[in-house]
Structure 1
Amino acid sequence: MRTSTPNTPLIYGRWRRYGSVAAATGALLFAGLGTAAHAGAATATPTHKVSSKAIAAAVAKAHVTYESACGATPKKGYAACNALRVTAGTTAFQEEQAAKKGARPASVSPKASSATPTGYGPSDLRSAYGLTSAAANNGSGQTVAIVDAYDDPNAEADLATYRSYYGLPACTTANGCFKKVSQTGSTTSLPTADSGWAGEISLDLDMVSAIAPNAHIVLVEAKSSSMANLGTAVNEAVKLGAKFVSNSYGGSESSSDTSYDSSYFNHPGVAITVSAGDEGYGAEYPAASKYVTAVGGTKLSKSSTTRGWTETVWKTSSTEGTGSGCSSYDAKPSWQTDTGCTKRMIADVSAVADPATGVSVYDSYGSDGTGWNTYGGTSASAPIIASVYALAGTPGSSDYPAQYPYADTSALNDVTSGNNGSCSTSYFCTAGSGYDGPTGLGTPQGLNAFTG
């Protein structure tokens, strides 16, 4: 796979936006095709022809134009030919290339958006993770930051729709609860709008609202999906006072990762969560950073158990499921004690991510269609866990909160069944009692595992 340098756009295959894998009640519309597996790509479907008119419509909907020469530096305002898109979104170039091959672009999309929610809402998630009575203040006094690339011009309005539907308190710029800024902290000079990342932004904001409805939310929008810009956005989130920062992007590891660690993710006293990935077994960065909480994904189902819920490893197919694995570059943090991996092991904890048991999200600007959609991916689980940390309270000023769950594993739901692929060391890809790669130490059971 191609790699990126700190000053170049994150390319499709090296870096991906995680999650926001969108599922309709029933079937997925699109299947995978592309230079690398798209987060949430479904099983291939028969090829089909796409008309030039359809291509033009898709390009217009994506709000981007493309640079025709792959490998060339894109002109200002253009997306690189293999630039990252998210949530079922694709670059205009991918639309064109797939059409020429008589196939669908790498994308997963709901069959149709709906007028009312069909996925899990706040009360479901809080019930599943023991948060109904464990979080009396609902995050009051805390600030959770969401880091994304590009601008969602409807972010605040869509957030209002979600919160109003579920009876959550208003979170607006006017009342001081919501703030949207660029990676430099500007509230007026924002990045270019992008419909692919808009659905992702809505997912992130809605999950914070569901878990910590009284917390303030800062949306920090990087000007592009490069590690330099996304990392700068992380630093800006911390500069603005957020003690909880959620990130749902990543890609294959590289020897540059340890330098990214020190530049962007080494923030003692801040709980930084990162999605483990959506393409099944395999270690990815920045989930592999020793300074973050790497978040895996589960399939969450209602049951007749005392808890009322059961969870297994999320695996939809050989190319779609939670990520996990042993890092090739990042050192093992002192609190990780598994013996099969001498370096950093992914993940630490987990939460719902399977789009088949997904969460409801409202989005009016994204590429999945306007209205209510049901989303999954570890892009859902990362902001959920960031928000659980927020409910648990401000981390110690010198702490790396990734270590907290290791100090109280009894306060987690141990996920013991399922796998996300094949591996030579069983626990790297297969759930079992105690620690395993796909689900880490387990999922939240109240707040005790997320306090210092």
Structure 2
Amino acid sequence: MRPSPANRAFGITAGFGALVVALMLPLGGSAQAQAQAMPAAAAATAHDACGPVPLGEARCLVSVRNDVHGGLGVRGPAAVGRNAAATGLPTGYGPADLRAAYRLPATGGKGQTIALIDAFGDPTAEADLAVYRASYGLPACTTANGCFREVNQKGKPSPLPPAPATKIAAGWQSETSLDLDMASAICSTCHLLLVEADDQTEADLGAAAAVAPSLGATEVSNSYGGEEGNGISGYAKDYRHPGVAYVASSGDYGYTVPSAPAVYAGVIAVGGTSLTRSTTARGWTETAWSRSGSGCSAWIAKPAWQHDSDCPGRGVADVSADADPATGVAVYATVDGGWVEVGGTSASAPVIAGVIALAGNPGKLTDAAYLYARSKDLYDVTSGSNGYCGGGYLCTAGTGYDAPTGNGTPDGLGAF
């Protein structure tokens, strides 16, 4: 999914938005290089769990707080939301916080199965999920009761891929925990299907995403990405299936070359916000997260349902949710030592998949068209920026559609 330097130089001349990207990126032109230039304050408190990857591979997009550490135990009843530190658990939003922020019902999702696509194996995935759900009083979701399934990229329960063999790839286990926990937080009665690709290549991840509907998945969440480039359209078919909603993280490197699979026309691209409590009537305030991925495609044609003026190709993102690690979510992951607070658009993608599952209409969301038609039913995020584009909507939040946050964040289930 990462173009060669020559292809990237050719591709970014295709549109106004992509041309600006070429001017704003550091030497070398890649989003990974841009990540090195993120604000020092953010770099001091969080780290990207997955490191840079070569051409043809994708990286997970979870950002783990360095300054927040929790314990190994189950949450006590006195702990609520971000005030959990007193119990020995980390700060971080829990299910009740996210439901309150986005006006979501505590029940719903009958008959829905959310597939989470990740690379490599995670031998503690089910055990970690059990701790998270028990800690928040969510119903058990296990292999034994039929709620949880873990399969390989061929859709088989064995052999499962081994755990990552390198430190660079080890962050995928953090990603797996985040994905399962956020799907649980939003739709606690949905079934969960963990599909583990053999490797983090675009081919293996695409195969995993493509097999999920055959196992009953109604929503498929993909919290990873690589820069778009020549040839990426060949994998678009892996992320489209009749009646199934595919969502993907928009990326964590601000305004830059769009990320695939989020850039595919059949995928709902999910950006990120900073979510904080406030004294407003809503009780919460959101701004565009400074690292939320956005961009204008030089390779994917503009869908009929996008009408913004400054991007001749597919624009990213379509919708958004909390992704800032500074306003992050609590996650339980053995690989991280227990409870941690995390962010990244890896968090917002499974949140949106869970919202779609709660609404129970995935057939309406086989692309993002319905979200554009029902944008009035979303919270409009009108402030914040994720880079430099001359103050335009491709990198600056404002009234109506903007690329960092799309059409907005969930305000109940009306847009889903």
> Could you say which TM-score interval applies, normalised by the shorter chain?
0.7 to 0.9
Contact 1:269 1:401 in 2 (8 A): no
Are the structure 2 counterparts of residues 82 and 372 from structure 1 closer, same or farther at C-alpha, using a change threshold of 3 Å?
farther
In the TM superposition, structure 1's runs of 4+ consecutive aligned residues that sit over 4 Å from their partners are: 1-4, 37-42, 79-88
1:298 is aligned to 273
Deviation at 1:44, TM superposition (A): 9.2
Distance 2:60 2:412 in 1: 31
1:404 is aligned to 370
Aligned length: 359
Q: 2:349 aligns with which of 356, 369, 382?
A: 382
Contact 2:56 2:202 in 1 (8 A): no
1:347 is aligned to 317
- Equivalences for residues 27-106 of structure 1 within 5 A: 36=33, 43=40, 86=60
Are the structure 2 counterparts of residues 142 and 44 from structure 1 closer, same or farther at C-alpha, using a change threshold of 3 Å?
closer
Contact 1:42 1:108 in 2 (8 A): no
* Secondary structure, aligned partner of 2:155: coil
Contact 1:297 1:377 in 2 (8 A): yes
Deviation at 1:109, TM superposition (A): 5.2
Calculate the TM-score normalised by the size of structure 2: 0.81
Are the structure 2 counterparts of residues 112 and 270 from structure 1 closer, same or farther at C-alpha, using a change threshold of 3 Å?
same
Distance 1:81 1:191 in 2: 22
1:336 is aligned to 306
1:247 is aligned to 222
Please identify, of 190-199 and 436-445, the stretch whose mean Cα deviation from structure 2 is larger: 190-199
2:208 is aligned to 233
Distance 2:243 2:206 in 1: 17
Q: 2:362 aligns with which of 380, 395, 398?
A: 395
Are the structure 2 counterparts of residues 39 and 440 from structure 1 closer, same or farther at C-alpha, using a change threshold of 3 Å?
farther
Deviation at 1:140, TM superposition (A): 2.5
Deviation at 1:396, TM superposition (A): 2.9
- Equivalences for residues 408-419 of structure 1 within 5 A: 408-419=374-385
Are the structure 2 counterparts of residues 337 and 173 from structure 1 closer, same or farther at C-alpha, using a change threshold of 3 Å?
same
The alignment status of 1:146 with 2:116, answered yes or no, reads yes
Are the structure 2 counterparts of residues 235 and 404 from structure 1 closer, same or farther at C-alpha, using a change threshold of 3 Å?
same
The alignment status of 1:362 with 2:332, answered yes or no, reads yes
The alignment status of 1:259 with 2:229, answered yes or no, reads no
- Equivalences for residues 101-250 of structure 1 within 5 A: 110-111=66-67, 113-115=69-71, 116-132=89-105, 136-137=107-108, 139-194=109-164, 195-250=170-225
Distance 2:222 2:36 in 1: 15
2:20 is aligned to none
Are the structure 2 counterparts of residues 293 and 225 from structure 1 closer, same or farther at C-alpha, using a change threshold of 3 Å?
same
Q: Percent identity at matched positions?
A: 55
Equivalent AA in structure 1 for residue 400 of structure 2: G
Distance 1:215 1:396 in 2: 17
- Deviation track 1:8-41 (CA, whole Å, cap 9, x = no partner) reads xxxxxxxxxxxxxxxxxxxxxxxxxx97455996
2:14 is aligned to none
Distance 1:401 1:187 in 2: 29
Are the structure 2 counterparts of residues 426 and 220 from structure 1 closer, same or farther at C-alpha, using a change threshold of 3 Å?
same
Distance 2:319 2:127 in 1: 32
Distance 2:295 2:267 in 1: 15
Distance 2:287 2:54 in 1: 38
Are the structure 2 counterparts of residues 124 and 39 from structure 1 closer, same or farther at C-alpha, using a change threshold of 3 Å?
farther
Contact 2:117 2:209 in 1 (8 A): yes
Are the structure 2 counterparts of residues 35 and 299 from structure 1 closer, same or farther at C-alpha, using a change threshold of 3 Å?
closer
Please identify, of 279-288 and 354-363, the stretch whose mean Cα deviation from structure 2 is larger: 279-288
Distance 2:332 2:37 in 1: 19
Contact 2:228 2:259 in 1 (8 A): yes
Are the structure 2 counterparts of residues 206 and 416 from structure 1 closer, same or farther at C-alpha, using a change threshold of 3 Å?
same
Distance 1:154 1:266 in 2: 30
- Deviation track 1:129-188 (CA, whole Å, cap 9, x = no partner) reads 0103xx642x23210000000011000000000000000000000000000000011212
Compare the two structures and name the one with the higher helix fraction.
2
Distance 1:406 1:227 in 2: 28
Contact 2:57 2:202 in 1 (8 A): no
Contact 2:271 2:345 in 1 (8 A): yes
The alignment status of 1:274 with 2:238, answered yes or no, reads no
1:440 is aligned to 406
Please identify, of 250-259 and 201-210, the stretch whose mean Cα deviation from structure 2 is larger: 250-259
* Secondary structure, aligned partner of 2:393: helix
CA RMSD of superposed structures (Å): 2.7
